[in-house]
Amino acid sequence: MYNLVSLLVALVSVCGASRSSNVLSVLNGRIIGGDDTNISSRPYQVTLLLHDKHHCGGVIYNENIIITAAHCLINVPPSKLKVRAGSSFWNKGGSLIQVAGFQLHENFNAGNLANDIALVRLADGLTFNSRVKPTPLAVTVPVDGAAATVSGWGLTGKTTNFPDMFPLKSADVIIIGRDACASATYNYGSSIHLSMICAQDAGKDACIGDSGGPLVSNGKLVGIVSWGKGCAKEKYPGVYADVAHFNDWIENTAKQMK
């Protein structure tokens, strides 16, 4: 069956916060028309809750650290954030843990979303099981055309509210390398920086998924959902933080946050 997967971008502003148009375009993105999936098949996926509502996706790195997108944490106090792991639903089940703090990449640029990656430290450690565990990080950039999957909690319409019983969804996409994504084949040009890779498929768009969520290829985390222009638009693939590019930063920063 053919599923048209697109991502609805909700423009979100925060009182008193100054945000770039790029950041506004990616917050609270969600998958529309994706396939339901179970957390047991995506045990590395978590939801980042702000004021007890789904805010962004995240990926388990170890018992104490979650990887997400830096733009998800702009002007957000750690005391208002929680992480839910081990559940197919953002609002119930699994483990709910308070966030103790977070670290944005030192060179994160809110204007062009370069280096859009951050680590979140949990107040209490996760207990690993079949529904809660990390996935290996990519150490090399995936090749053009590699199969990948993006996952997150999404909506099936244009409402900006997350249904309480809405399950985790996923969409299969194809990797588009940084050079290819910045080429004349697509319309991003110089907006694609060294820290980014892209992914899309015909009629499908992993454009945003849930911001901060995982792009996984060949069993490894290759990208963190970052931004995109529109949804399922030809010549505008979804853009991700390139995990291989940040491998050393993730390892070193996680050690410092213990």
Q: Which residue has the higher pLDDT, 86 or 199?
A: 86
Q: Whole domain around residue 154: which residue ranges?
A: 135-244
Distance CA 118, CA 135 (A): 17
Intra-chain end-to-end CA distance of the chain, in Å: 46
Specify the CATH number for the domain of residue 210.
Answer: 2.40.10.10
The pLDDT > 90 percentage for the chain reads 67
Kindly state the tokens that stand for 176: 């588009």
Domain shared by 128 and 252, yes or no: yes
**Are both 119 and 52 inside the same structural domain?**
yes
Which pairing describes strands 147-153 and 220-227: parallel, antiparallel, or unpaired?
A: unpaired
Q: Is residue 101 domain-resident?
A: yes
CB 199 within 8 A of CB 223: yes
Average pLDDT, the chain: 83
In this structure, are 46 and 127 located in the same domain? yes
Inside any domain, residue 6: no
Q: What is the pLDDT of residues 53-87, one digit of tens each?
A: 989 999 999 999 999 999 999 999 999 999 999 99
* Share above pLDDT 70 across residues of the chain, in percent, rounded to a whole number: 78
Same domain, 252 and 197: no
Examine the domain organization and report whether 165 and 115 are in the same domain: no
Cα angle 230-232-233, degrees, rounded to a multiple of 5? 65
Give yes or no: residues 121 and 74 share one domain: yes
Based on the fold, state whether residues 46 and 92 are members of the same structural domain. yes
Instruction: State the pLDDT at residue 163.
Output: 54
Do 105 and 165 belong together in one domain? Answer: no
Domain match, 44 and 105 both: yes
**Which of 28-42, 76-90, 136-150, 231-245 shows the lowest per-residue confidence on average (mean pLDDT)?**
28-42
Grade residue 4 by pLDDT with cuts at 50, 70 and 90: very low
If pLDDT is split at 50, 70 and 90, which confidence band does 206 have? very low
**Which residues are tagged catalytic?**
71, 116, 211
Of 31, 30, 128, which Cα lies nearest the Cα of 86?
128
Task: Specify the pLDDT at position 12.
Answer: 29
Is 22 among the domain residues? no
Q: Are residues 234 and 183 in the same domain?
A: yes
pLDDT tens for 77-134 read 999 999 999 999 999 999 999 999 999 999 999 999 999 999 999 999 999 999 999 9
Closest to 44 (Cα-Cα) out of 162, 216, 165, 199: 216
**The total number of structural domains that make up the chain:** 2
Statement to judge: residues 172 and 219 lie in one domain: yes
Encoding tokens for residue 117? Answer: 């990656």
Q: What is the tens place of the pLDDT at every residue in 13-67?
A: 222 233 444 444 444 445 544 688 999 999 999 999 999 998 999 999 999 999 9
